[in-house]
């Protein structure tokens, strides 16, 4: 929508004129989650423990990639131990697309050795199911400000830093560590040191929604190409990741007469990604 001349700016101006502003906290759902069968938070129930206290298979099967751990370590990001649990042998991520028969050392990647989902994401049976985080909101506003769609209020740098701070807060990282992190002289970390402000915003948004509303990163990558240097699966024959999802086999079997021609999933972007 940002490509439509004047549209976004006009709509955001209506919000500013109305006066209510934007969200001031994480937006989540919680109808009364409890540590009981069929009543747990879906995040905890799928990726944590069931009501009896047994760890789920999805928890054991979900872990960090080697890329994200290397990125967090290189930028000295204190969120690493909140986004991912740290095994006694240290953080370990799996190369994307690695199969059991790809390497004789594959046994090192058993779930007990790898960095599974961390305590900043898996908080407990009663945790909210997040729809829209405050961090994501701030990064969206930072992008709007940087693009000139918003011309009043906090500048892009302030909104960017508020986004990082909100991410730290949600994950349970101490506030004093935010000051140390956000001022270090590294690209896509410190606003002032970043050579491409849009890339900095999208990169930090990628980190902030990781494991929470991570589908947003795929949308952002499709429309901006950021974060840059993301790895391609070892199993992919393509030079890039897909820009749309194929219609599922079930659609063909149950509704085959109405399924339109499948666009190229690697080149034909959905309208909002063009």
Average the pLDDT over each of 3-12, 48-57, 263-272 and give the range with the smallest value. 3-12
For the chain, give every domain's residue range. Answer: 7-28+132-224, 42-109
pLDDT the model gives residue 106 = 63
Angle at 238 between CA 233 and CA 239, to 5 degrees: 85
Residue 205 confidence (pLDDT) above 80:
yes
State how far the Cα of 262 lies from the Cα of 248, in Å rounded to an integer: 11
What is the percent of the chain with per-residue pLDDT over 70, rounded to a whole number? 95
CATH code of 7-28+132-224, in short, is: 1.20.120.840
- For the stretch 84-143, pLDDT in tens is 999 999 999 999 888 765 566 667 888 899 999 999 999 999 999 999 999 999 999 999
What is the percent of the chain with per-residue pLDDT over 90, rounded to a whole number? 76
Confidence of residue 240 (pLDDT cuts 50, 70, 90): confident
Mean pLDDT across 154-179: 96
State how far the Cα of 206 lies from the Cα of 131, in Å rounded to an integer: 16
Residue 47 confidence (pLDDT) above 60:
yes
DSSP 213-246: STHHHHHHHHHH--STTPPPPTT--SSS--SSPP
Phi, psi dihedrals of residue 28, rounded to the nearest 5°: -140, 175
pLDDT the model gives residue 187 = 96
Q: Which has more pLDDT, 63 or 99?
A: 63
Phi, psi dihedrals of residue 130, rounded to the nearest 5°: -80, 130
Confidence of residue 248 (pLDDT cuts 50, 70, 90): very high
Task: Give the H/E segment covering residue 28.
Answer: strand 27-29
CA–centroid distance for 140 within its chain: 13
């Amino acid at each position: 929508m940002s490509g439509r001349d004047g549209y976004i700016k006009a709509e955001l101006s209506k919000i500013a004129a109305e006066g209510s502003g934007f969200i001031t906290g994480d937006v989540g759902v919680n109808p009364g989650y409890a540590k009981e069968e069929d009543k747990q938070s879906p995040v905890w129930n799928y990726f944590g423990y069931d009501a009896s206290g047994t760890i789920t298979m999805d928890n054991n099967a979900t872990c960090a990639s080697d890329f994200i751990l290397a990125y967090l370590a290189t930028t000295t990001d204190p969120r690493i131990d909140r986004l991912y649990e740290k095994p006694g042998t240290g953080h370990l991520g799996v190369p994307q697309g690695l199969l059991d028969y790809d390497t004789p050392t594959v046994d090192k990647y058993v779930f007990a050795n790898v960095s599974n989902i961390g305590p900043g994401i898996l908080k407990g049976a009663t945790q909210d199911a997040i729809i829209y985080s405050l961090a994501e909101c701030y990064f969206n506003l930072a992008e709007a400000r940087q693009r000139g769609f918003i011309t009043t209020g906090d500048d892009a740098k302030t909104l960017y830093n508020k986004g990082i701070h909100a991410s730290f807060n949600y994950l349970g990282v101490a506030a004093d560590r935010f000051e140390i992190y956000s001022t270090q002289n590294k690209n896509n970390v410190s606003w002032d040191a970043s050579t491409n402000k849009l890339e900095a915003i999208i990169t930090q948004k990628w980190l902030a929604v990781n494991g929470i509303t991570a589908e947003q990163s795929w949308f952002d990558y499709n429309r901006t190409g950021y974060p840059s240097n993301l790895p391609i699966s070892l199993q992919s024959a393509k030079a890039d990741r897909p820009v749309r999802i194929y219609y599922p086999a079930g659609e063909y079997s149950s509704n085959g007469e109405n399924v339109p021609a499948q666009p190229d999933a690697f080149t034909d972007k959905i309208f909002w990604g063009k």
